[in-house]
Every structure is written in C-alpha cells, then in structure tokens.
Amino acid sequence: MAESDNIVVETAEKIFADLADPQTINNDKTNSWQAPLWQALSEAGLPLSWVPDDLGGSGASLADGFALLNAAGRFAVAVPLAETMLAGWLLAQAKITSPDGEMTVLPASPKDRITIDADGALSGRSRGVPFARAAKHFAVLAHGKEGVSIALVDASKARIESGLNVGYDHSDTVTLDKVQPVSIKAAPKGVDQTHLMLMGGVTRSLQIAGALESMLDISVRYSNERVAFEKKISKFQAVQHNLARLAGESAAALAAATSAADAIANAKSFNDEVYLEAASAKIRCAEAAEKGGGIAHQVHGAIGFTMEHILHRYSLRALAWRDDFGSESYWAVELGKLVANRGADELWPLVASR
Amino acid sequence: MTAALRFDPIRLPEKCEQLRKEVRAFLADEIAAGTFDPHKPNREDTDAPEFSRRVGAKGWLGMTWPKKYGGQERSFLERYVVTEEMRVANAPTRRFFVADRQSGPVLLKYAPEHIKMEILPRICRGEICFAIGMSEPNSGSDLFAAKTRATKTDGGYLINGTKIWTSSAHIADYMIAIFRTSQPTKENRRHGLTQFLVKMKQPGIKVNPIGQITGQYEFNEVVFTDHFIPDDHVLGEVDGAWKQATSELAYERSGPERFLETYYVLTELVRAVGPNPDTRSAEGIGRLVAQLHTMRRMSVSVAGMLEAGKEPVVEASIVKDIGTVWEQQLPHRVRDLAAFVEETATNRETLERQLDFAIKTAPKLTIQGGTTEVLRGIIARGLGLR
C-alpha cells in the first residue's frame, strides 16, 4: 500500500491503532475513548490537514488528506475528523482562519440552502449534518445577493435538533435564524454548493471504501476460523464466491474513490471530467456499501448481527455515509442529466477523457 | 491482503491521447467509406480482411512487439487506447483481434526463431487470422480433461480428436492449441499437455460450423484425423503447457473488450432519451455511467500494471468478473429504461435492433475467457481461501 511513504497516513494509522481499536471502542459503553483520540489527532494536526499554516492548519496536500480519510474509513472512527477537515478546507478557500476544536460543514445536503440576509446574518436549515452536536464551529456555504460566501459560525448560536443516522452517529438538523457569523468572506470563483457537495461526496466515498476493505479483511479472517459441517466455512465454494464478490465490490469502491480523489487533487477547476469522477465515486461506493455489506453479514451469520461484534461498526456506517452530501440516487440523476445534455456522441469521449 | 486489491489511479499519458485522435479519425474515414456501420454490431461482414490490412498498415497490430518482428515497441497503454476505440466504434476486429491480443504474445514467448520471423510480421500486417484451441467436448474450463492426442511420429506428431467452441476457426490461418502428449501423473494432474502451432486448411482438419443464438456464426467444432504437425511447431515445453496456457488467459481478462461488448446500447439509450431526460431515465443513465467509468478506471489501472511488468492475476480476474457481469446486465437495464422512450425517438428502431442483439449476446459474456465461477475461484485463491 501507499501508506509507507505517506507520513500523514502513517501518523493517523498509528493513532487509530493505539486509541481507536474497533473492539475496544465497541466494548466501551461510555465513549471514554473519544476525548483522548481527538486530542491525539489534534496534536498531530490531522483535523486541520487541509488548512495552510498561515490559517492555523498543518498544510497537508489534498492528496495526503484524501489518503488519510481512506485510512479513517478502514478504522470506521466515529469522531468528526472528516467533517473538521472539510470545514477547514472550506474556510481556507475564503482565507478564513480555522479555530481549534471540532467543526462540521453546512449544508450537508445539496438541496438545503443557507441564505445571507440584508444585514449579513445567516438563515436557513440543513438536515443530516454529521456531528453538529459535537462541533464547536460550523463552516457554512451561504447564498446572498452578491453570490456565494463562506462563513465561520459559532455552533452555540444555532438551533440543533438531534438525530442519529443508520450507523448510530450524530446526524442533526441545524437551523440558523439570523445568526451573525464570526467571519464571512466571498467564496472564490468556482467554489459553490455543487463543489462542496462533491468534495463531501468524495470524502464519504473514501471512507466507505476503507470500511469495505476492513469488512473484507474481517470476513476472510472469520471464514478461516468458523467451522460448520465439519469444515472451515472458507472451504465451501459458495462462501468463497461470496467473498470473491465482496473483494470485487471493495476493489471497485476503492478504485472509484481513489480515482476521484486523484482527479480533484490534480484538477485546476471542477469541469465535467472531475464531476464525472466525483459523482461516479459516490454512486459506485454507495452501491458497493449495499452489496458488500450484505455479503459481509452473510459470511458472519447471526454473530455479525449482534452489537457485541465489530462488523456493524463498518457495515452500518458505510450504509449511513451513502446519505451524506447527496445520496447516490441524487448524484445519479445529476450525472444522468449531464450526460444526456452533452449528447450520445459525447458520452464515450467524456468517459475516455479520464 | 487487501494490498493486492488496490487499483492505482493511473492516467493515460499524453501520447495516448494523440494516438486516440488518430484512431478516431481513421475509424471515421472507414465508416464514411462504408467499411462498417457503427450502429450495427450484428453485421454479417465481421470478417473484413481489407480492413485488417489497413489497421496493420497503420502500425496498430503487434504494437508492443519488437520491431524485428514487425512490431512498434509501443506501450501497453497505447495498445489499450486502440483496442477501446475499435470496440466502442463496433469496428470489425474479428480477423485480427485474437492474434494481436493472445496468439502473437504466445509465439513471441515460446516459438522457435524462424517461426517468429515467418509469422509475427504477417500478424502485424493484418494478413492472418488465429483461433485458440483449448476447449473440447466435455472439457471447457476444465483444461485438465482435454483428451485430443498428439502422438509422436517421425519428425513430428499425429493429432486425433476434437476441439470445440473455437471462435473463427472457419476463417483462421492458424490455431494455437493444446493437445495431450502423455497421461497426467499421480504427482501432477497438470502434466501431459503440450501447446502446438497448427496450420489450418491442411489435410486431417475438418471445421464444422456451430450456429449461435444471436443468429451469428462464429463457433466451430474442429475435428483432427491423423493431422501431422512438425516438431518445430511445438510451443514451449513438451508436457508442460498448463502454466503456459494459464498465463495466456491473463491476456484475455482485463482489457477494454471485457466490459464494452454491449456498450453500444447505452449510447443509443442516451440518444433516444434526448437532452432533457425525466428523473427516472436520468437516474438510470447516471448509475450506468458511474459503473462504466469505474470499470474503465480499474481496467486502465491493470493495463498500467502490465506496462510496469507486473502479473496482476487477481486484479485482472476482478476486472473480468465485474466487467462481464456489467456488460451482461447492461442490455437488460437499458431495456428497462427504454420502455419509456418516446415512440418518436429518431433512433428508436436502431435501439430496438441493438437491444435484440445485445440481449441474445449477453448469456455468453460470463462464459468466454473463463467462466465467472472459475474467476471467483481465482480471486478466492488470491484471498488465501484455497
């Protein structure tokens, strides 16, 4: 794997292995693991990976940050690392300094809209905001008369209705009612809600792909331990074929997600080609989460359905991540419209351009 | 373990894009000249000898081979671009494709020098057609079960037995086949098979056509009766063909031909739906395009591994498994979506004709080049399960 030459990923994996072992987390009913993990991640500068030094961050490249998100997916860690990274990235686009502590981004759905009032206050509602309750600040993309702006908002000024996603992580509804931001600046050209949603979508794609890699690992391991009908179940051809399919889904998810991340990291602008990559990644990874997660549970039998087992930490989270920053159905419609609008004879040139 | 399943996001280099333009221009000229109709994958004239020679003259056959054998010493990635543009255009590649992809590389590796000098340049010029003689009645994926005998005689071997499902044998000039030269041993069930270069259209070879459910004719039964093959037509090691044949299959498994065989129905669906699709059509197209894009990224990545001199056996098997399942499902998904296309769509007739053909083609796609079951066995082995 590429990790060996990536110091950001190496650092993160060591922290996850030490402080976010899935079995330990799964057994801890009081969430006492969260604070030390967040502290270690923060001390290593990881939550603000995508924020340049002069804006309070550690200035890692987009590519390194994406690799870090994939690693976070492999550990299925439920702290707002991805969300804080995204928020820091968004704020940095408008050269707003990132504060310390947990952050998340608004809106988290392509159809929700935050507006800027005449007096510069922010209003609007965003549903399905990951970790809103844990966040001290929000990075907000908002629409005003002058166009798109990026704002830093104190989370205590917002109304937050608690919710949980399928993976038991906080997914809240945030309402801003004439909230004065800590800071607000015009977004640079090209940074708009679609851009933010696709960044979020690729973030989730990398996490889903990571979770599938782990599901494959633990499913293969389990099939080599579990004996039924006097044989290891890994020796049954039907089980082998299911695991081969899981490997295929995991590989497809990782290929789609890393290709999209690479496309964004090297793009000068968000053109149709990058759009194809990013939207495809979210669609394909979401499909892989459904198919791959199903197979992982099938291999584990009833034991994988229990709260005691760690499988759900990956499978349910991968399913939940499908919904953030536009579901696969949403992106499929948008991508389909784009393809149809370009016309039949432009489909292959678009695909072959990548 | 998952380290083996990473598909690095390699991009085709700039020189590939220049080549792509040349191939597109060439194909556009051929279409304009009436060589083939890109909207008719089920044409009867798939054996197009003059087209093959023109492709050869362009330097697009044997592209990666040494120049002394007529090759161009270009990269796998450049060859990849030529293959995918031909496939997407529904160009008539039947006459040269097997030789270019598979038989030529086998000869390069295992044939004696004088045979290489004689045959490889002719493949590069698009003059000759190859068939592959692996399957036999009652031995398809199970290559061990092959029974057709090669019996040693003065200066060569006498062949007796039958090959089956042999694509293009009726037009082929040569076949690369495996025959049984001795019985398997107790220690090694894989022992006793030898690979031969067979010159077709010679005494002792009879080719019988087998019709396909598409209405096309491509498969054959090939019956050998005391057919003589000289000693210098043995390829590689006597009794040791098993490993040669399995590495040959790797050439078959990850190229663009492994997910683009029914691609044309997607293009025609987009045309029929028009620029302002309803939500249902848009979603359907979007999901199909996302899958296509992902498949292609994986396939390009494997081409990059081949270019780097790696042997991506498991990765290629994954591409073929996902790719053929996709190209098999594609006509059915397009049919679902086409049910709501306006009656007035100008290409409605073309789309229906293509769907009819693609739906009939689909059942074979997960069989050729290694069945889905065999591929999943290979993947399972790669996962350490067997």
Q: In a structure prediction context, what are the per-residue pLDDT tens digits for chain B, which is 386 residues long?
A: 455 588 999 999 999 999 999 999 999 999 999 999 999 886 655 678 999 999 999 999 999 999 999 999 999 999 999 999 999 999 999 999 999 999 999 999 999 999 999 999 999 999 999 999 999 998 877 888 899 999 999 999 999 999 999 999 999 999 999 999 999 988 888 899 999 999 999 999 999 999 999 988 889 999 999 999 999 999 999 999 987 877 766 666 778 989 999 999 999 999 999 999 999 999 999 999 999 999 999 999 999 998 898 888 899 999 999 999 999 999 999 999 999 999 899 999 999 999 999 999 999 999 988 899 999 999 999 999 98
For the four alpha carbons of A151, A152, A156 and A161, in that order, the dihedral sign comes to positive
Q: What's the CA gap between B232 and B91, in Å, rounded? A: 35
- Return the amino acid letter for B194: T
pLDDT in tens, A330-344: 999 999 999 999 999
Best of B5, B6, B385 to mutate (most A CBs within 10 Å, chain A): B385
Locate the chain B residue with the closest alpha carbon to A214.
B2
User: Do residues A139 and A105 make contact, with C-beta atoms less than 8 angstroms apart?
Assistant: yes
Judged by CB atoms closer than 8 Å, whether chains meet at B385 and A262 is answered as no
Give the DSSP per-residue string, A15-84.
Answer: HHHHH--HHHHHH-TT-TTHHHHHHHHHHTT-TTTTS-GGGTS----HHHHHHHHHHHHHHT--STHHHH
> Rg of chain B over CA atoms, in angstroms?
21
Residues of chain A in contact with residue B281, where contact means CB-CB under 8 angstroms, are 336, 340
Judged by CB atoms closer than 8 Å, whether chains meet at A328 and B287 is answered as yes
pLDDT in tens, B176-193: 999 999 999 888 888 999
Best of B269, B283, B322, B330 to mutate (most A CBs within 10 Å, chain A): B283
Q: What's the CA gap between A83 and A207, in Å, rounded? A: 12
Q: What's the CA gap between B340 and A26, in Å, rounded? A: 49
Locate the chain B residue with the closest alpha carbon to A251.
B5
> Residue ranges of the alpha helices (H) in chain B?
14-32, 49-57, 76-88, 94-98, 104-110, 113-124, 241-252, 264-273, 279-307, 313-338, 348-365, 372-382
Locate the chain A residue with the closest alpha carbon to B38.
A345
Angstroms from A182 CA to nearest CA on chain B: 40
Angstroms from A289 CA to nearest CA on chain B: 14
Residues of chain A in contact with residue B2, where contact means CB-CB under 8 angstroms, are 1, 213, 216-217, 250
Best of A213, A273, A284, A291 to mutate (most B CBs within 10 Å, chain B): A284
Q: Is the ipTM of this complex over 0.90?
A: yes
Locate the chain B residue with the closest alpha carbon to A215.
B2
CA-wise closest residue to A287 among B317, B264, B322, B374: B322
Return the structure tokens found at B29.
Answer: 């000229």
